[in-house]
Amino acid sequence: MAIVEAHDLTKVFNGRKAVDSLDLEIEEGEFFGLLGPNGAGKSTTVAMLSTILRPTRGTVTIAGYDIKRHAKEIRRLIGVVPQEFGLYDELTAAENLAYFGKLHGVEGGKLKVRIEELLRLVQLQDRANDLVKTFSGGMKHRLNLVVGLIHEPKLLFLDEPTTGLDPQARLAVWELIKRFQSEGVTILLTTHYMEEADYLCERVAIMDRGKVIALDSPARLKRSIGKLEVIEVKARKVTKKVLNELRKLKGVRKAARTTEGLRVLTPAANEVMARVVTLASFAGVQIDSLNVAQPTLEDVFIKLTGKTLRD
Amino acid sequence: MKVLTIAGKSLRIFFRDRMALFWTFAFPLLLITIFSLAFSGQDSIDIKVLAVQQDNSPTASAYLDALDSILTLERVEDVADAEAQVLDGEVVAAVIIPPGFSSGEESARLVYDESRGEFANTVVQIVDGVTRGFFGLQTPLEVESVHGAYKRWNPAQQYVPGMGIMMVLMIGGIAVSSRIINERKAGTFKRNLLAPIGKLSFSGGEILCGFLVGSMQVLVFFGVGVFVFGLEIVGSILLVALISALVILLGVGLGLLISAFTRSQEAASGATQAFVFPASALAGLWFPIDIMPGFMQSIAKVFPTYHAMNAYQDVIVRGKGLLEIAPSLAAVAGFVLVFFALGLLLFKWEA
Ligand SMILES: Nc1ncnc2c1ncn2[C@@H]1O[C@H](COP(=O)(O)OP(=O)(O)O)[C@@H](O)[C@H]1O
Ligand SMILES: [Mg+2]
């Protein structure tokens, strides 16, 4: 039996569907990802699965418990690392952990040991008795990660755990999260970084506008690009107008702007490259580099939606 | 008990906030001190005095008309009734014109409540002045003081309960609502919701924390009142505690209610003040209600603060018992129930 089973899960906010008929099954011990741009409905999904937001429609069971009738039992089993910090600034790191531990029924010596263990895990053992308000952003981030682990949950929800971190800090968090999984915890991670989903997750559901538009292992998702090739264009000042012109070029299936320039999906890379260069010189866009790249999850998203994850 | 864990956390945060401690304890004490020192006498505006006219001669009527032009006379039939009302603290004084007043056999009597201090003295002087103006030096007036258990007016009678109620409500309203609003903003509310605790545990913890802080305030205010300002509590201290408990719950309920429809600390503080200031100024917390115009005295009765103040003074100054203050207690309790019911009903349980 899957540890998470959601069917037809839907949430409507003011007439708009934030999550739209979601079906999801996550196996015990699995590392599952929800990949999608801002506003795709990832946090709303996590809130419903974690019992704190009532679905408009649909059913969810967690380890066989229904979220509507057995919220308390479910809350004992799950840990949540919310996208925004949830820490008391006026309490110390250890007091924050102790408080949430006690709310989950962890007490006494067991609580003390667990607090030390978690603080060591995120290298905050020397700051255990300092008020959180004296912490740097990075330290708060690390503490926020482990508060949701205080009661040794079987299922962990990580909502965009690396958003806003620099690449080095992100790597450190990735290593940390991998250690959570090696302890046998089932993980549902949400992210809008395709590298993150690719690197960490065994299966990924790609979400857009409340809907799951693809669901498979990262490798198979990338293979689903099929015969299409990806042209990676590094260029500056690519306007919307240029992008629209580009999309009309012969052989271009999809094109989208990235932070570095453009990605173009095509069945005939060599011919299209020449056309892209011609268009760029007419439009006055300076191309820094141009090459055929390995497909990424981003390209899968572009293929399915015509946009990038950052749009 | 998760409620205790939640309340303990909030109390700990509260005691680390020096600013909160100042507004909760030091500022009200400052108010009590300033008002107690500054107000030893007040001007007379619309002072109600009872009149019993048992001599129907034109002289007696003209004399009472003269008094009525300065004071507000209210006629009663029965001497015993008039005296009882003075003794009960309902009016400050009564003028009694006995039969045989006009023939010079009997003097008029002015019965006044000595425990009302400077205010009572002012009334006596006014009556005395009018009488001299009317009759000349040979005044047919006997002045007779009565008092309940309290012999001397002490401003602390007014300002310990007055400022006490005001500041317990103020801190209850602002601190309880701000704590809830801050938890929502800081994302900690969401984490509390994610814990396997009962639905009411979170608000229960905040209510308990608010109640404990309010209890500490009351202890400090009355402690300073008794030991520094010489406040005498004539009636039962248990009754003072009972009234205080209701006042504290009123403050906590106010905070709960305000947290349900405000989104920022500033809005919560503004909403609290918008309730507490009128409810203090107009209901006799800042100034004895007797010096206010008659219609204002009726308006005062719509505020729970008026009934709380009444109950406190009935116990502290007049030594009244539970049965006698029951109507005032019931009025305060009614407001407590309404605040709590609305506050919990409108409470938003989703993050
Ligand atoms: N409490 C809410 N009220 C109204 N709209 C909301 C609320 N929460 C989220 N939304 C809307 O639902 C959509 C999905 O939001 P969210 O689940 O936060 O997306 P994501 O986490 O993928 O960025 C967005 O359009 C957002 O504006
Ligand atoms: Mg989100």
pLDDT digits (tens, 9 = 90+) for B173-195: 999 999 999 999 999 999 999 99
Nearest to residue A95, comparing CAs of B16, B272, B309, B157? B16
The shortest C-alpha distance from A73 to chain B (Å) reads 7
Taking residues B248-260, report their average pLDDT.
Answer: 96
Share of chain B above pLDDT 90, in %: 47
Q: Which residues are placed with Cβ below 5 angstroms of ligand 2, an ion?
A: A 42-43, 83
pLDDT digit string, tens, across residues B300-316: 899 999 999 999 999 99
Axis-axis angle for helices B201-227, B27-38 (nearest 10) = 40
Is domain B48-146 given the CATH code 3.10.580.10 in the classification?
A: no
- The answer, as to whether pTM is greater than 0.90, is no
Give the closest-approach CA distance of A83 to chain B in angstroms. Answer: 9
Q: At what angle do helices B237-261 and B177-186 cross, to 10 degrees?
A: 40
Query: So what's the pLDDT on residue B157?
Result: 84
- Single-letter amino acid code for the residue at A40: A
B12, B187, B191: residue with CB nearest A100: B191
Chain B residues in contact with A72 (beta carbon < 8 A): 196
Give yes or no for a contact between A121 and A176, defined as CB atoms under 8 angstroms apart: yes
Q: What is the mean pLDDT of residues B132-161?
A: 70
CA angle B7, B8, B13 (to 5 degrees): 100
Size of interface A-B (CB pairs under 8 A): 67
Residue-wise pLDDT for B213-239, tens only, equals 999 999 999 999 999 888 889 899 999
**CA dihedral of residues B166, B172, B175, B177 (deg, nearest 10):** -120
Q: What does the pLDDT read at residue A102?
A: 97
Confidence band (pLDDT; 50, 70, 90) for B57? confident
Adjacent-strand bridge partners of A102: none
Q: Ligand 1 pocket, A53 CB below 6 A?
A: no
- CB of A107 less than 8 A from some CB of B: no
Residues of A in contact with B194 (CB under 8 A): 50-52, 75, 78, 80
Tell me the mean pLDDT in the region B10-29: 88
B9 in contact with A, Cβ within 8 Å: yes
Sheet holding A287-293, edge to edge: A254-257, A261-266, A229-235, A287-293
Taking the Cβ of residue A154 and every Cβ of chain B, the question of whether any pair is shorter than 8 Å is answered with no
Question: Has residue B153 got a pLDDT over 70?
Answer: no
How far is B161 from A165, CA to CA, in rounded Å?
54
Rounded to the nearest whole angstrom, what is the distance from the C-alpha of residue A12 to the centroid of ligand 1?
A: 10
Spell out where A115-169 has E strands. Answer: 155-159
CB A52 near ligand 1, within 6 Å: no
If DSSP codes are grouped into helix, strand and coil, which group holds residue A179? helix
Give the nearest partner residue to B191 out of A90, A105, A147, using CB atoms: A147
- Which positions of chain A have pLDDT values less than 50? none
Is B197 near chain A, with CB under 8 Å? yes
Q: CATH 3.40.1710.10 occupies which residues in chain B?
A: 48-146
| C-alpha distance from A76 to closest chain B C-alpha (Å) | 6
Judged by CB atoms closer than 8 Å, whether chains meet at A88 and B193 is answered as no
Q: What's the pLDDT at A20? A: 96
**pLDDT recorded at residue B146:** 64
**What is the average pLDDT score of chain B?**
87
Closest-lying ligand 1 atom to the alpha carbon of residue A160: 21
A90 at B interface, C-beta within 8 A: yes
- Interface probe, candidates A99, A132, A151, chain B, greatest B C-beta count within 10 A: A99
Residue B307 tokens read as 């009934």
For the CA of A34, the nearest atom of ligand 1: 22
Mean pLDDT of B104-128: 81
Residue A275 forms contact with B (CB below 8 Å): no
What lies within 8 Å, CB to CB, of B67 at 6+ separation is B49, B51, B73, B95, B127, B130
| Interface touch B351/A47, C-beta < 8 Å | yes
Q: Is the pLDDT of residue B44 over 50?
A: no
**Burial class for A176, CB neighbours closer than 10 Å (0-12, 13-18, 19+):** middle
The complex scores an ipTM of 0.88
Q: Please, what are the domains in chain A?
A: 2-222 (3.40.50.300), 226-294 (3.30.70.100)
Cβ atoms of B42 and B287 closer than 8 Å: yes
Residues 6+ apart with CB under 8 A from B270: none
Q: A47 to chain B: nearest residue by CA? A: B351
Residue B139's pLDDT is: 64
Give the position, in ligand 1's atom list, of the atom nearest the Cα of A83.
Answer: 21
At residue B340, does pLDDT exceed 70? yes
